[in-house]
Chains A and B, each alone.
Chain A
Amino acid sequence: MVLSRDGSASLFAASAGGTLRLAGYLLLAVALMMLDHHDDWLPRVRSATALAVEPAWRLAGAPARWLSDIRENLTAQSSLRRENRELRDALLLANVRIARMQALVRQNDQLKRLLDAADSLRMQGQLARVIDIDLDPYRRRLVLNRGARQGVQVGQAVVDAHGVMGQVIEVLPNTAVVLLVTDPSSALPVIDARSGVRAVAYGSGSGDLLSLPDLPINADIKVGDSLLTSGLGGRFPAGFPAATIVTIVADRSGNYLRAAARPAARLDRSDQVLLLRDLAEPMGPPAPVIDAGPPSSLIGPAPAGVGNASTPRAARNGARR
């Protein structure tokens, strides 16, 4: 009897203290959430703790890596040979296409120069590997194994062999976080390759589709149309495959169409991706400014040359005197 009363009393005392502490921690957590919501604290905390965050990401990504390595090691030689042959064929095709493309690019360059427009087809990139981890199950993001030390910057577009994947939203010293185009907070300006209709493709929160809401009811868009990036907004370079329309329905008011599109990039199966460098100067002609004026090789030694030239003359004058 006494024991139980004792026990309950201590339990009560402990729980009263516990409730106070609970309230304290809850307040702290809510304060943190509000700070993060208003001022984006998380990226700052992350970059401050990058030393711990990055190894954790790599460690968590390691098992998937080992699995794929093991699978590679276990595949029979014949299948490897077949894959190799297929890849070689594909490479040959791609090379032929590139060779043809290069002629077109040169022609396009000339035409653009005639029109005094910027060169937008030149493209530089950097390969990166996907670290296979899932951050938040309700968002679509990727972690890449290249970061600020390798020159990655926030805002760079990420593509794979099939199309646009997303853009870099956060950079740590040796890793970068990519927002995929299917993330609910992503918006991608696109253009219909067939009809030239412009639209914005938003990530839909559920599934792996893009949604194009609020298309005009008479917009020339059909199921099966492929969408390219339009380059409006300046984030994504123009002309990359973005998605294919899969369904079109009229919305409830009947004034707008709502389309769903499947992303062209293989968002869940990509291993290697390409980080595109920002195009140096998308508009205007600052490029010649760098080359304008006499070459630096002439500017550099010139004063010395003048000095040398004047000294003998002065010496000669002195001698003449």
Chain B
Amino acid sequence: MMHNDWQRWVCYLSLALSLLLMLLPLPMALLPLRPWWPALVLVYWVLEAPDRVGLGTAFITGLAADVLAGALLGDQALRLVVIVFLAQRFRARLRFFPMVQQSAAVLLLLLNDSLLRWLIRAFAGLPLPPLLAWAAPLVDAVLWPFVFLLLDGLRARMRARES
């Protein structure tokens, strides 16, 4: 019970923090490369706590991100749901990949997401992302090991304190 309790808090806090990180300012030239923190954090929790984080969590996180950033309501919700679904589908394999391979998988997930984003924006008539935005998944893939190790370390420490 206690175990579930703190894990839930770590999970929700990390998601809320990822939403805030998403808003941090960057120089204008680097803006298209901005990492999509909520996706990374959600994928981590899908891999490590699949009974806590599912499509519903992804949808609500995405909605919150949409309301905060606000281009089109439901845009990020849809994309996060797709990412989490794919991560759930391949969870059994992804979990035991070495870190480099995991990063590559994250890169593929987010490249697929870039395509989806391009389609949604084209259909909605929103300004299309610049070419540089296609390189953003690379940034996410590079950041993935750090997110993974950070959250893993956090969980291990909490568990150690628990026992």
Contacts and interface: CB of A to CB of B under 8 A. Distances in A.
Contacts of A185: 127
Interface string A206-236: 1010000000000000000000000000000
Contact of A56 (B19, B25, B121, B126): B19
B128 A33 contact: no
B28 A63 contact: no
Nearest to A56: B68
Contact of B23 (A36, A42, A46, A134): A134
B71 interface: yes
Given A22-B85, A134-B25, A205-B127, A33 B31 contact: no
A196 interface: no
B23 A32 contact: no
5 contacts: A18-B88, A28-B74, A63-B24, A205-B130, A206-B130
A11 B72 contact: no
A28 B77 CA distance: 9
B130 A138 contact: yes
Query: Sorted from nearest, which 10 A-B pairs have the closest CB atoms?
Result: A32-B74, A29-B78, A60-B23, A36-B73, A33-B74, A133-B23, A137-B31, A29-B74, A184-B127, A205-B127
A37 B124 contact: yes
A49 B64 CA distance: 10
Contacts of A22: 55, 81-82, 85
A206 B127 CA distance: 9
Interface residues of B, number: 46
Contacts of B77: 25, 28-29, 32
B76 to A, nearest CB: 9
B7 to A, nearest CB: 21
A81 B81 CA distance: 55
Contact of B67 (A31, A42, A61): A42
B66 interface: yes
B113 interface: no
B143 interface: no
Given A33-B74, A42-B70, A132-B25, A137 B133 contact: yes
B89 A18 contact: yes
Contacts of B63: 32
B32 interface: yes
Given A15-B89, A26-B78, A60-B24, 10 more contacts: A18-B88, A29-B74, A33-B73, A33-B78, A42-B72, A60-B20, A64-B25, A134-B31, A137-B31, A138-B71
A53 B130 contact: no
Contacts of A56: 19-20, 23, 68
A46 B69 CA distance: 10
